[in-house]
């Protein structure tokens, strides 16, 4: 306990905890948001890491930092800092800088898909093959109910989603991807069961509590702020509804990131479950598939 609170006695460390509460960041992003030199930021990150407040992973040529969520004391202390950090003007400025960081990421991802959507069929073949696990992932969603797929892309999963008697809303921010998803639905004779909507995952074109299930398959690693996508899923779900997240596990394959315009080099399951829990989900255990390269987590929106 002494080490935890001693580490939090420095203003710059409180600032770091406040921005990491919104999701993992690499050292360059932390320096940019806080206006710190790399040596200064690294010194504070080292102290936080040694105190058990943050975890560090070297992936894809970057050092990524995230809050440590396994120790209840650390988790509660970080949540307290995040809840009250806004009382400090400098933290308010930091959070605005973090928004700009996330917007820059989002713009980069949008530009990538605008350029490479015509080649997505070829590029997606480099990802783990979902045919071996898609059935069990989609089986976690309620049948005979309205569900949404976030980042539906070319509509590859639409036939499986519809097969459970579901009405499916596919959402993507790429008009080209949606056009291809429409052809997928039409070719499979699913037009009366599928509705496609243009929109950002961080600002879903869905009314509050309008669906019973949400699928986020291989999409969070494209988001500037994954926790915002999860929070939007919570908003769109009715109480008791289910969110299923399937994601790439953490990896160091820089070429994969570049080929697919990924903003994140995969995740650890506890990163995603931590975000889900903070947004109001009760999470089951993560399950790894595809020789551990992919994991999925099922969450239930708590009854209010």
User: Per-residue pLDDT tens for 88-100?
Assistant: 888 889 988 888 8
Q: What's the pLDDT at 265?
A: 72
Q: Residue 259's pLDDT is what?
A: 44
CATH number of 126-301: 3.40.50.150
Q: What is the mean pLDDT of residues 183-202?
A: 93
Give the number of other CB atoms < 10 A from CB of residue 58: 10
What is the model's pLDDT at position 175?
A: 87
pLDDT grade, residue 263 (50/70/90)?
Answer: low
Q: What is the DSSP letter of 275?
A: H
The beta-strand segments (E) located in the chain are 25-26, 54-59, 62-67, 146-150, 167-172, 194-198, 211-217, 237-248, 281-283, 287-289, 294-301
The CATH code for residues 2-103 is 1.10.10.10
Residue with tokens 């960081």: 101
Q: Which of 53-62, 83-92, 249-258 has the highest mean pLDDT?
A: 83-92
Burial class (CB in 10 A: 0-12, 13-18, 19+), 57: middle
Q: How far apart are CA 85 and CA 102, in angstroms?
A: 19
Please indicate, yes or no, whether the overall pTM of this predicted structure exceeds 0.95: no
123 confidence band (pLDDT: 50, 70, 90): very low
Return the closest-CA partner of residue 265 out of 247, 282, 280: 247
| Segment of 63-67, 130-134, 233-237 carrying the highest mean pLDDT | 233-237
Q: Same topology for domains 2-103 and 126-301, yes or no?
A: no
User: Domain extents for the chain?
Assistant: 2-103, 126-301
pLDDT (mean) for 233-257: 84
Q: How far apart are CA 74 and CA 53, in angstroms?
A: 6
- Mean pLDDT over residues 123-130, rounded? 63
- Tell me what the mean pLDDT of segment 207-221 comes to: 95
The larger pLDDT score, comparing residue 17 to residue 121, is at 17
Q: What value does the CA radius of gyration of the chain take, rounded to a whole number of Å? A: 19
If you average pLDDT over residues 208-212, what whole number do you get?
97
The rounded Cα 241 to chain-centroid distance in angstroms is 18
Closest of 11, 186, 9 to residue 88, by C-alpha: 11
- Cβ neighbors of 196 (< 8 A, separation 6 or more) are 152, 169, 170, 171, 172, 178, 181, 182, 185
* The pLDDT value given to residue 61: 59
What is the pLDDT at residue 69? 77
Mean pLDDT of the chain: 86
109 contacts 263 by C-beta, under 8 angstroms: yes
Structure confidence at residue 109 (pLDDT): 62
In sequence order, what are the residues at sequence separation of 6 or more whose Cβ sits closer than 8 angstroms to the Cβ of residue 174? 110, 113, 114, 117, 153
């Amino acid at each position: 306990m002494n080490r935890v609170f001693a580490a939090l006695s420095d203003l710059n460390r409180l600032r770091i905890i406040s921005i990491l509460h919104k999701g993992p960041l690499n050292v360059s992003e932390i320096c940019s948001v806080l206006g710190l030199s790399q040596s200064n930021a690294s010194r504070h990150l080292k102290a936080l890491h040694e105190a058990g407040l943050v975890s560090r992973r070297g992936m894809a040529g970057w050092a990524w930092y995230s809050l440590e969520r396994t120790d209840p004391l650390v988790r509660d202390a970080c949540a307290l800092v995040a809840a009250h950090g806004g009382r400090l003007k400098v933290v308010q400025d930091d959070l605005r800088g973090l928004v700009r960081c996330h917007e820059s990421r989002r713009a980069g991802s949008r530009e990538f898909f605008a350029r490479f959507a015509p080649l997505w069929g070829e590029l997606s073949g480099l990802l783990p093959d979902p045919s071996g696990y898609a059935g069990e992932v989609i089986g976690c969603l309620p049948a005979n109910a309205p569900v949404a797929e976030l980042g539906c892309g070319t509509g590859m999963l639409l036939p499986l989603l519809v097969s459970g008697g579901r009405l499916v809303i596919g959402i993507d921010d790429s008009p080209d991807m949606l056009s291809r998803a429409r052809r997928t639905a039409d070719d499979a004779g699913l037009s009366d069961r599928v509705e496609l909507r243009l929109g950002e995952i961080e600002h879903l074109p869905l009314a509050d509590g309008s669906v019973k299930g949400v699928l986020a398959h291989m999409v969070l690693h494209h988001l500037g702020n994954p926790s915002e996508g999860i929070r939007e899923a919570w908003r769109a779900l009715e109480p008791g509804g289910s969110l299923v997240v399937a994601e790439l596990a953490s990896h160091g394959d820089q070429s994969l990131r570049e080929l697919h315009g990924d903003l994140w080099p995969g995740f650890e399951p506890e990163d995603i479950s931590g975000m889900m829990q903070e947004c109001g989900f009760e999470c089951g255990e993560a399950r790894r598939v595809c020789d551990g390269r992919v994991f999925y987590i099922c969450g239930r929106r708590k009854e209010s």
